[in-house]
Amino acid sequence: MSDDNINGIYIFGEHIAHEEVQGMNLRGYIQLVKDAVGPNKINKGVFIRKEKFLENTTLFRCPICKNAITTCGLNSIVCLKGHCFDIARTGYLNFLQRTVKTEYDEELFSSRNIVSEKGFFDPMLRCIGDMIIKNLAEAGNRNVIILDAGCGEGSHLGKIINDLQSKSAGKVQGVGIDISKEGIIMASKAYSDIIWCVADLANLPLMNQRFDVIINILSPSNYEEFTRVLRDDGILIKVVPGSNYLKELRDIFYDVNKQDCSNHKVIDHYSRNFRVLDIQTVKYNKTVDRDELLHIMAMTPLSWRTTNERKVRARNAGINCITMDFTVIKGIKKGR
Ligand SMILES: C[S@@+](CC[C@H](N)C(=O)[O-])C[C@H]1O[C@@H](n2cnc3c(N)ncnc32)[C@H](O)[C@@H]1O
Ligand SMILES: [Zn+2]
């Protein structure tokens, strides 16, 4: 028996009469289940993830016909033209019509998650949090809706929101989008207060001008879409690797002329589309043990473009310290 079985009448093991459910809209249905099993059980279940989406349907639009979206039972949503998208058991939404197979697989995301949980990205995430707090303070500390475009396994958005919630009085709602289903599945299991979607950032299933902040960490950008969904007073924070990012690995993986990881072209492209307000370099070294080094090698696309022989060499090179180097760019829409 599934714990979110809506056609069957068991929710978290509690029986609810079928007649009570028929003809009821989703909000009424959720209330019915809450009354039946008590709010404490609900908070721990997948139910809360679906409710979170229900509360925020106005943020979304159909990626096919661009019309508004409404819910359709507990397990799907439908647009005004009838295009239907699934809400998965763990509560994420799938806006893709077919699964896109990429090199970002479960193994990569699980290593990325381990590296993230060990704090390797924390100083960079704190820099993003500080930029958002500063912006909120200037805007009068109102509620904030954040989009993470290319969120991967979700821990960056999760940590940033936890940080903001401990520092700011306003309400923070996060939406994470990634084209990789594997990443979104992991994210949706770990962070139930955030809305997670499998979607293409080049065709965001989001309404115009709803987001106060877009973050885009080590992921591709689509500035046309970012401009469309960002509020006119919103900010875009993009993180690109600095020239020394994971230098110890790149020195072994590539020949000397290919080792440089210059980000000038990316910054130029950003500044052609958004007005740059601030650029911060966040650079630090972290000691690594062998296990951590293996996860770093498994989480980075840098490993895709080298030979097995070089990867073996890197594993056995006695690397015990790794360089983290990020460029964090904050900007606003052009013309503001
Ligand atoms: C290097 S990972 C970074 C993930 C995460 N931001 C992090 O820093 O751990 C790049 C991410 O971009 C996502 N991505 C690539 N193309 C995308 C697209 N068109 N739409 C949405 N996500 C995309 C990948 O699936 C992957 O999760
Ligand atoms: Zn549609």
pLDDT for position 261: 62
* Domain, as residue range, for 19: 10-87
What is the average per-residue pLDDT within 106-122?
97
Among residues 150, 237, 151, the alpha carbon closest in space to that of 190 is found at 151
Answer whether residue 37 shows pLDDT above 70. Answer: no
Q: Whose atoms come closest to the Cα of 63: which ligand? A: 2
Nearest CA to ligand 1 atom 13: 150
Query: Are 49 and 169 in a shared domain?
Result: no
Residue 34 and residue 161 in one domain = no
Decide: 196 and 187 in contact? Cβ < 8 Å. yes
pLDDT value of residue 269: 96
Tell me: pLDDT of 15 over 70. Answer: no
For residue range 86-95, what is the model confidence (pLDDT) as tens digits? 888 888 999 9
Between 34 and 14, residue with greater pLDDT: 34
Q: Which atom of ligand 1 is nearest to the CA of 180?
A: 25
**Span from the CA of 178 to the centroid of ligand 1 (angstroms):** 6
The answer to whether the CB of 241 is under 6 A from ligand 1 is no
Residue 255, pLDDT above cutoff 90: no
**Together in a domain, 70 and 159:** no
Measured by CA distance, the residue closest to atom 10 of ligand 1 is 219
Per-residue pLDDT tens digits for 226-245: 999 999 999 999 999 999 99
DSSP state, residue 308: H
Residue at 141 is within a domain: yes
Output the pTM of the full model.
0.88
CATH number for 253 = 3.40.50.150
- Report the residue among 101, 178, 217 best suited for mutation to probe ligand 1: largest number of ligand atoms under 8 A from its CB: 178
Q: How many domains does the chain have?
A: 2
Do 20 and 114 belong to one domain? no
| 256 has a pLDDT exceeding 70 | yes
Asked whether the beta carbons of 161 and 172 are under 8 A apart, the reply is yes
Neighbours of 180 (CB within 10 A): 23
Q: Residue 167 half-sphere exposure, CB side, CA atoms within 13 Å?
A: 16
Q: Is 205 in the pocket of ligand 1 (CB under 6 A)?
A: no
- What share of the chain in percent tops pLDDT 90? 68
Tokens of 186: 């992991």
Residue 139: band (very low, low, confident or very high) from pLDDT cuts 50, 70, 90: confident
| 150 Cα distance to chain centroid | 6
Could you tell me the distance, in angstroms and rounded to a whole number, from the CA of residue 156 to the centre of ligand 1?
12
Has residue 279 been placed in a domain? Answer: yes
DSSP state string for 238-291: EEEE-TTTTHHHHHHHS-GGG-----HHHHHHHHHHEEEEEEEEEEEEEE--HH
The response to whether residue 181 sits with its C-beta less than 6 Å from ligand 1 reads no
Residue 245 corresponds to which tokens in the numbers above?
A: 């990012």
Q: How far is CA 29 from each of CA 24, 35, 58, 84, 195, rounded to the nearest angstrom?
A: 6, 10, 19, 20, 20
- Rounded to an integer, the average pLDDT of 161-167 is 92
pLDDT in tens, 201-232: 999 999 999 999 999 999 999 999 999 999 99
**225 C-beta closer than 6 A to ligand 1:** no
User: Would you state the pLDDT for residue 77?
Assistant: 87
**Two tokens at 35?**
């009354």
68-72, 176-180, 237-241: the lowest-pLDDT one:
68-72
CB of 218 sitting under 6 A from ligand 1: yes
Determine if ligand 1 sits within 6 Å of the CB of residue 102. yes
Last residue of a domain, one of 87, 114, 134: 87
Tell me, letter by letter, the H, E, C secondary structure of 79-99: ECCCCEEEECCCCCEECCCCC
Per-residue pLDDT, averaged over 268-278, amounts to 97
CA atoms within 13 A on the CB side of 47: 25
Nearest to 125 by CA among 280, 300, 323, 332: 280
C-alpha of residue 71 to centroid of ligand 2, in Å: 13
Same domain, 238 and 121: yes
Which protein residue has the closest C-alpha to ligand 1 atom 14? 150
3-class DSSP string for 113-165: HHHHHCCCCHHHHHHHHHHHHHHHHHHCCCCEEEEEECCCCCHHHHHHHHHHH
Computed over every residue of the chain, the mean pLDDT equals: 86
